[in-house]
Amino acid sequence: MNRSGTEPVGTGIARPPNTEGMNKTMNKDQLPKRKENRLRCYDYTEDGVYFLTICTDRRRPILSQIVDRSTPLPDHVYEPVPEIVLSEIGSVAEQLIQDIPNRYDGVCADAYVIMPNHIHMLLQVERKGGRAMPVPTGAPSISHIIQQFKGAVTKRAKAVVWQSHFYDHVIRNEADYLACLRYIDENPLKWLLRQDEYVI
């Protein structure tokens, strides 16, 4: 992922990581236990950073293609150079991801990658003392954002695009953040090498 100047299509770093307030260490016993893909005791209206994965319906590769732009090297050395080529639906998804800060005050995608059949995203929420978005009473804020995002993409595509659920991981500290950032960064290469768990 190019972090100097313009980002490649299908990827993005919105701003440098903001890890202020993240604990360097956290007692495992202090963390709520997971049930399915939601943390039962975690308040999803709280400020924080969330690593999200959104998959397409039946994991169909309708968002992008990962193309190898490598060139032959001496001594037959092969170094794959992945490039993301977005589909029309993938381009819509990218536009809506980049528009998140305009739709929700204090919320932005720190980083994202649009893969053929899924999207990884680091979503940061900083309300600065107020609610970042209007949400129904008791509804998790992150769920609201993702539901709105998925609905907007589906409306423009005029077809079923997404699985009904999504995966979330609450970022616990700076090391956790950087690990997720690296995972996003390396995802296109892993896809080319067929090391990505979502390759079908």
Ordered by where they begin, the domains of the chain are: 11-16+33-192 (3.30.70.1290)
pLDDT of amino acid 15: 44
pLDDT of amino acid 136: 41
pTM of the model: 0.74
Write the secondary structure of the chain as one string of H (helix), E (strand) and C (coil): CCCCCCCCCCEEECCCCCCCCCCCCCCHHHCCCEECCEECCCCCCCCEEEEEEEEEHHHCCCCEEEEECCCCCHHHCCCCCEEEEECHHHHHHHHHHHCHHHHCCCEEEEEEEECCCEEEEEEEECCCCCCCCCCCCCCCHHHHHHHHHHHHHHHHHCCCCECCCCEEEECCCHHHHHHHHHHHHHHHHHHHCCCCCCCC
Per-residue confidence in pLDDT tens, the chain, 200 aa: 433 344 566 776 544 444 454 444 334 344 334 334 444 434 445 678 999 999 999 999 999 999 999 887 777 777 889 999 999 999 999 999 999 999 988 899 999 999 999 999 999 988 665 444 444 433 337 899 999 999 999 999 999 999 999 999 999 999 999 999 999 999 999 998 887 778 77
What are the φ and ψ backbone dihedral angles of 108, each rounded to 5 degrees? -155, 160
pLDDT of amino acid 148: 94
pLDDT of amino acid 42: 44
